[in-house]
């Protein structure tokens, strides 16, 4: 691994359970370690805006989770929580990672909660972004509808336009940058998503499986922060407060001008929320 800080990431790969996983490495290996997990239908590059800033102080590894980005699709279609946990365990053991700060959005946040509860010795601190055991059905349906109606399009720009209609909080330039990592061109000339097509189906939630996260939330003891987008249609304020009350000493922040994809919608607001929490970890030596 490189020994100098980077303002752009280095692409890495690792084989876990027979699947080839892609991940991004930011920052100095000598700095405190941070692992980031993206949400469903996203890629490791979803964290680029905030990872670029945090890399000044942290060694950051951002994983393309199974079925997403440049990581292999699951040949058996297994996208249950247990499969994601096997992947995270394999990533940690394969790279011989020391205890780290774990940050996860949406699906990545669910996976982070589960992992932290079951591997407490490995997680120094946890940041959960816009997810909890209780989510709003309409928000989940909105994401599913967007995924299912953008199966294939004639051009890259058509995808950008549709993504902007779905999330007008993002600039067209931002969406072009993000989508170039999440789309691929077919032999026909049309464009489609990189992530496994099963995530575009009506049965997406059945494919991922429903897990009661409350028992895992209640087992978390490490320093924890929950961040919610003020305009989120996935995590309500009431549901967020239940999570905060269930985790001892949990910090809570609401980022204005952001929906469900908080760090991408308002990276400056996300950083303003998370940096004091991270600074507090340093001051207490955790």
pLDDT tens track for 231-244: 999 999 999 999 99
**Distance between CA atoms of residues 116 and 96, nearest Å:** 17
Both tokens assigned to 123 = 């997680």
Q: What is the pTM of this model?
A: 0.93
Q: What is the DSSP string of 16-53?
A: ETTEEEEEEEES-TTSPEEEEEPPTT--GGGGHHHHHH
- 59: helix, coil or strand? strand
In degrees and rounded to multiples of 5, residue 232 shows phi and psi of -60, 135
CATH number of 10-136+218-284: 3.40.50.1820
**48-103 pLDDT, tens per residue?**
999 999 999 999 999 999 999 999 999 998 999 999 999 999 999 999 999 999 99
> Is residue 245 scored above 60 in pLDDT?
yes
CA separation, residue 123 to residues 108, 114, 179 (Å): 15, 11, 31
So what's the pLDDT on residue 1? Answer: 35
Structural domain boundaries in the chain: 10-136+218-284
Distance between CA 218 and CA 237 in Å, rounded? Answer: 19
Give the span between the Cα atoms of 73 and 177, in whole angstroms: 23
Position of tokens 């189906």? 201
Angle, CA 229 vertex, CA 225 and CA 234 arms, to 5°: 100
For residue 40, report the phi and psi dihedrals to the nearest 5 degrees: -60, 140
pLDDT by residue (tens digit) across 38-47? 999 999 999 9
């Amino acid at each position: 691994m490189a020994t100098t800080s980077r303002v752009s990431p280095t692409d890495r790969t690792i084989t876990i359970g027979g699947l080839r996983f892609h991940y991004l490495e930011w920052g100095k290996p000598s700095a405190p370690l941070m692992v980031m997990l993206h949400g469903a239908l996203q890629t490791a590059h979803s964290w680029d805006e905030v990872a670029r800033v945090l890399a000044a102080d942290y060694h950051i590894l951002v994983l393309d989770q199974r079925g997403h980005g440049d990581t292999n699709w699951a040949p058996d279609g297994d996208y249950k929580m247990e499969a994601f946990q096997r992947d995270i365990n394999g990533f940690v053991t394969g790279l011989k990672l020391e205890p780290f700060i774990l940050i996860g959005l949406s699906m990545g946040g669910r996976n982070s909660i589960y992992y932290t509860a079951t591997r407490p010795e490995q997680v120094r601190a946890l940041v959960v972004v816009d997810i909890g055991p209780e989510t709003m059905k309409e928000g989940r349906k909105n994401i599913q509808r967007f995924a299912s109606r953008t199966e294939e399009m004639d051009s890259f720009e058509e995808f950008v336009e549709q993504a902007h209609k779905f999330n007008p909080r993002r600039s067209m330039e931002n969406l072009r940058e993000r989508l170039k990592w999440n789309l691929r061109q077919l032999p026909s000339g049309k464009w489609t998503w990189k992530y496994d097509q099963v995530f575009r189906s009506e049965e997406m939630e059945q494919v991922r499986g429903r897990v009661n996260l409350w028992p895992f939330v209640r087992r978390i003891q490490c320093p924890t922060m929950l961040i919610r987008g003020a305009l989120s249609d996935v995590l309500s304020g009431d549901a967020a407060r239940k999570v905060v009350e269930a985790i001892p000493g949990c910090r809570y922040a609401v980022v204005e001008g952001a929906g469900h994809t908080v760090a991408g919608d308002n990276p400056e607001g996300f950083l303003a929320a998370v940096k004091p929490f991270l600074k507090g970890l340093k001051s207490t030596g955790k």
